[in-house]
Structure 1
Amino acid sequence: MSVPRLFCPDLHEGPVRLPDEEAQHAVASLRLQPGDPVELFDGRGRRADGQVHRAVAYSLEVEAGEITARPFDIPVRITLAVAMPRTHRQGYLVEKCTELGVAAIWPITTERSVTRPKAAAVAKWARRAVEAAKQSNRYWLPGIEAPQPLAASIARRAEFDSAAMAHPGALSSFVGFFAGGSRAGSVIVWIGPEGGWSEAETDEAVAAGVTLTGLGPTILRTETAAVSVCAAVALLGN
């Protein structure tokens, strides 16, 4: 039986108390008891073995052992700047991209966005990312930012080694773009809404040094495109 993994943002050696929501899951669902072994991680690359010290009424205290640092989960740090899909598909996007090693998710608003998430949605996505990280054995949580305009994200192009925008009319493929020398360090990829990008938006991106790339011969939903990009980076980056 595998050792349960628990998220502990305030990780340090010695006794630690888990956040209420994490403790409730550990006590009510996993039914952890004093003496049970666990693995703790803080979402920033630090982890420790631990042993449950106290478990009562949805409160969990763990004795954490030596803390060790882990490298980032995949060699390339990928940021997705994505026009989020409709509400019922947002969690899927966050979950699957987290499993595949995404470093950051920037929700963006575009001319044709089908939804404009509020800042409060970030907390919900963050919880989904924690669960996905626990399941997929990740030690780093993706940084999920508050929604921002497309123009604001394009203005940050210089923060990355390479940049691509998914576009069904692009002459080059994302796989070719990435495998052809864009694998070092960090990459940002823009994923558009169901209605696609406007011409003004693609012109703005290209002017900022962003490469338009295709994701295959079919038209993909936003969440499918996001997962496809992360899968390609995870596979080719290794």
Structure 2
Amino acid sequence: MQLPRALVVSRPSLLSRPWLKPSIPIVRAFSAASDYSDQSRGGLPRFFSLPSSKGGVVRVQGDEFWHMTKVLRLGANDRIELFNGKGGLVEGCIQNVDRTGIDFVAARDPIVVNPHKPQWDVFAAFGTLKGGRADWLIEKCT
């Protein structure tokens, strides 16, 4: 990165001062896609749990709580999605974070999402191989 002329100095000790360093903004990016037809390519983080209705508060604990707070570093007012594994999906936000879990508030009533059909089929074609290499190739393709 090339510094502007005003920030180029001859003494290296002056570069260690924080007001002379260019600031790099910290950005947390979460896609806010409202189209639920294809969440496999992005969208809000999803976790396995589902409130019963809009405004319902769900307490999330255990491994999912650890993943939300320590890995993804989610905090209060971050938006996430919860699902039940049977097609139910609800969007909402984290209301409160403490040492034992988070409180999630649903912004909408749960919706039912139909399972997705694969978008394409994959075909593999190869020539005849010597020895047991054809078996190995078929094993790796399946």
Deviations 1:12-41 (A, max 9, x none): 221112241011110112222211111222
Deviations 1:43-77 (A, max 9, x none): 2211111110111225122002311111112169x
CA distance in 2, matches of 1:19, 1:42: 15
Match 2:141 to one of 219, 225, 232: 225
Task: Write out the 4+ residue segments of structure 1 that deviate beyond 4 Å after TM superposition.
Answer: none
Q: Supply the AA of the counterpart residue of 1:47.
A: L
CA gap 1:38/1:58 in 2 versus in 1, 3 angstroms: same
- Give the percent of matched residue pairs that are identical in Structure 1 and Structure 2: 21
CA distance in 2, matches of 1:61, 1:54: 5
1:32 counterpart = 2:74: yes
Larger Rg: 2
CA distance in 1, matches of 2:88, 2:102: 20
Mind listing any 5+ residue stretches in structure 1 that lack a counterpart? Answer: 77-99, 101-173, 176-214, 227-238
Contact 1:6–1:39 under 8 Å retained in 2: yes
1:22 counterpart = 2:64: yes
Aligned to 1:56: 98
Aligned to 1:67: 110
Aligned to 1:5: 45
Contact 1:8–1:18 under 8 Å retained in 2: no
Contact 1:6–1:22 under 8 Å retained in 2: no
Give, in angstroms, the shift of residue 216 of structure 1: 4.1
Higher strand share: 1
CA gap 1:12/1:225 in 2 versus in 1, 3 angstroms: farther
Contact 2:50–2:90 under 8 Å retained in 1: no
Q: Calculate the aligned-residue CA RMSD, in Å.
A: 2.8
CA distance in 2, matches of 1:19, 1:221: 42
CA gap 1:32/1:51 in 2 versus in 1, 3 angstroms: same
Higher helix share: 1
